[in-house]
């Protein structure tokens, strides 16, 4: 795929996001697009955001749970960037008209106190570099019509990022076994599902280690102060206007999102 096509697809996706008008899947039009080419599209799209004044504040990992990998038929996570304009405060309303087809994922957000540079990053290194963790919701969204996506589509589309909502409470990781940390996800007061931290690549910190080592291939590191979304513990939960979603984590507290027209 040549540079002009990569730039064109990045602009298409960015325009789809800003206009909230989804486009046909990239894989339907370019069936031979590779994951690496899709990451080039993602990076070109991030450069468009930076030119518009966005500031990178973190990174997200997607497709970490077996449920999400099975849904797309893949066996490796993906990643994307988080900017300041994607962040939402706990309790603030989420406007449906700013999104296309949102779904909610419950995640553990890591806040780093030290840089993490691969290769060779381990769970132990991630834990040592972490200032604390926070309950979080990722509102995933797609610029592709009807969520008819393959792995290359979601990679190119920033790993299907929409909004990031974190709790105001951050707790230290010392003494915590995140593998056993339970989650209850509720929508409108009804339990949607339950899970534990081990659903994320066996340990949420293992997902962060994977990302640091993956980014090392491109000369990129995770930076102190960044938020790293470690990936969903469950399959994504669709939402509509009027819905209230809350994720409650053992030992960590809860975080909620309210969707309005």
146 pLDDT more than 80: yes
- 240 is written with which tokens? 């509509």
Q: How far apart are CA 61 and CA 231, in angstroms?
A: 5
Average of per-residue pLDDT across 211-230: 96
pLDDT of residue 177: 95
Q: Evaluate if residue 152 carries a pLDDT over 90.
A: yes
Percentage of the chain exceeding pLDDT 70? 99
Query: For residue 67, what pLDDT band results from cuts at 50, 70 and 90?
Result: low
What is the percentage of the chain residues whose pLDDT exceeds 90? 91
pLDDT of residue 228 exceeding 80: yes
In order of their start, the domains of the chain are 3-260 (3.90.850.10)
Alpha helices in the chain (DSSP H): 3-19, 26-29, 35-51, 66-72, 123-128, 151-156, 204-216
Does residue 148 carry a pLDDT above 70? yes
The mean pLDDT of the chain is: 95
Q: Does the bond joining 119 to the residue before it have cis omega, within 30 degrees of 0?
A: yes
Separation of alpha carbons 80 and 59, rounded Å: 6
The DSSP bridge pattern shows strands 78-83 and 56-62 to be antiparallel
Six-digit token string for 250: 């053992």
Question: Does 29 score more than 80 pLDDT?
Answer: yes
């Amino acid at each position: 795929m040549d540079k002009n096509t990569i730039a064109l697809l990045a602009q298409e996706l960015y325009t789809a996001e800003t206009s909230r008008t989804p486009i046909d899947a990239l894989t339907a039009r370019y069936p031979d697009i590779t994951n690496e080419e899709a990451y080039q599209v993602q990076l070109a799209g991030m450069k468009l955001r930076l030119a518009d004044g966005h500031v990178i504040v973190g990174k997200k990992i997607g497709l970490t749970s077996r449920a999400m990998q099975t849904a797309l038929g893949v066996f490796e996570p993906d990643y994307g960037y988080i900017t300041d304009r994607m962040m939402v405060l706990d309790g603030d309303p989420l406007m449906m008209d700013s999104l296309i087809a949102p779904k909610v994922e419950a995640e553990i957000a890591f806040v780093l106190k030290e840089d993490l540079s691969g290769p060779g990053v381990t769970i132990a290194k991630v834990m040592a570099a972490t200032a604390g963790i926070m309950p979080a919701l990722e509102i995933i969204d797609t610029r592709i019509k009807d969520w008819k996506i393959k792995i290359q589509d979601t990679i190119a589309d920033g790993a299907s990022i929409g909004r990031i909502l974190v709790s105001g409470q951050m707790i230290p990781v010392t003494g915590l076994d995140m593998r056993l940390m339970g989650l209850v996800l509720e929508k409108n007061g009804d339990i949607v599902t339950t899970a534990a931290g081990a659903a994320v690549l066996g340990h949420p910190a293992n997902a962060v280690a994977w990302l640091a080592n993956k980014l090392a291939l491109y000369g990129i590191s995770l930076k102190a102060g960044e938020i790293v979304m470690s990936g969903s513990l469950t399959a994504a939960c669709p939402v509509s206007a009027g819905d209230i979603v809350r994720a409650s984590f053992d030992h960590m507290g809860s975080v909620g999102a309210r969707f309005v027209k």
